[in-house]
Amino acid sequence: MVFSGSANMPLAKRTCSYLGIEIGAAEIGRFMDGEISVKINTNIRGHDVFIFQPTFAPAENMMELLIMLDAARRASARRTTAVIPYFGYARQDRKDQPRVAITAKLVANMISAAGADRLLTMDMHSPQIQGFFDIPFDHLFAAPVLLEHVKARGWRDLCILAPDIGSAKLGRAFAKRLGADLAVADKRRPRPDVAELMHIIGDVEGRTLLILDDMISTGTTLCEAAVAARRLGARAVYACATHAVFAPGTIERLDQAPIEEVIVTDTIPHNDLTEKFTVLSMATILGEAIRRIHEERSLSSLFV
Q: What is the pLDDT of residue 200?
A: 86
State the catalytic residue, choosing from 105, 169, 187, 276.
187
Looking at the structure, do residues 113 and 8 belong to the same domain, yes or no?
yes
Looking at the structure, do residues 236 and 116 belong to the same domain, yes or no?
no
Sign of torsion over alpha carbons 42, 52, 150, 292: negative
- Mean pLDDT computed over every residue of the chain: 92
Q: What is the pLDDT of residue 60?
A: 96
- Helices 143-153 and 283-294 cross at an angle (nearest 10°) of 150
Looking at the structure, do residues 154 and 193 belong to the same domain, yes or no?
yes
Please say if the pLDDT value at position 290 is more than 80: yes
CATH of the domain at 177: 3.40.50.2020
Looking at the structure, do residues 83 and 190 belong to the same domain, yes or no?
no
Q: What is the mean pLDDT of residues 163-170?
A: 82
Mapped onto helix, strand or coil, the DSSP state of residue 241 is strand
Q: What is the pLDDT of residue 185?
A: 86
Looking at the structure, do residues 134 and 153 belong to the same domain, yes or no?
no
| Confidence grade of residue 280 (pLDDT, cut at 50, 70, 90) | very high
- Is pLDDT larger for residue 162 or for residue 80? 80
Looking at the structure, do residues 58 and 116 belong to the same domain, yes or no?
yes
Cβ pair 4, 53 in contact under 8 A: yes
* pLDDT tens figures, 167-189: 888 899 999 999 999 999 876 65
Task: For residue 218, give its domain range.
Answer: 143-280
Please say if the pLDDT value at position 198 is more than 60: no
Looking at the structure, do residues 85 and 123 belong to the same domain, yes or no?
yes
Q: What is the pLDDT of residue 169?
A: 85
Q: What is the pLDDT of residue 56?
A: 96
**For 164-195, b where at least 16 C-beta lie within 10 A, e where not — what string?**
beebbebbebbbeebebbbbbbebeeeeeeeb
Looking at the structure, do residues 124 and 203 belong to the same domain, yes or no?
no
Q: Has 13 been annotated as catalytic? A: no
Per-residue DSSP letter, 25: P
Looking at the structure, do residues 131 and 12 belong to the same domain, yes or no?
yes
How far apart are the C-alpha atoms of 72 and 44, rounded to whole Å?
8
Q: What is the mean pLDDT of residues 212-229?
A: 90
Q: What is the pLDDT of residue 188?
A: 62
Looking at the structure, do residues 137 and 16 belong to the same domain, yes or no?
yes
Q: What is the pLDDT of residue 277?
A: 97
Q: What is the mean pLDDT of residues 24-38?
A: 95
Looking at the structure, do residues 246 and 174 belong to the same domain, yes or no?
yes
Which long-range contacts (C-beta less than 8 Å, at least 24 apart) are formed by 175-183? 177/143, 177/147, 178/147, 178/150, 178/151, 180/210, 181/207, 183/159, 183/209
How far apart are the C-alpha atoms of 86 and 267, rounded to whole Å?
6
* pLDDT tens figures, 104-147: 999 999 999 999 999 999 999 888 899 999 999 999 999 999 99
Tally of structural domains, the chain: 2
Q: What is the pLDDT of residue 191?
A: 62
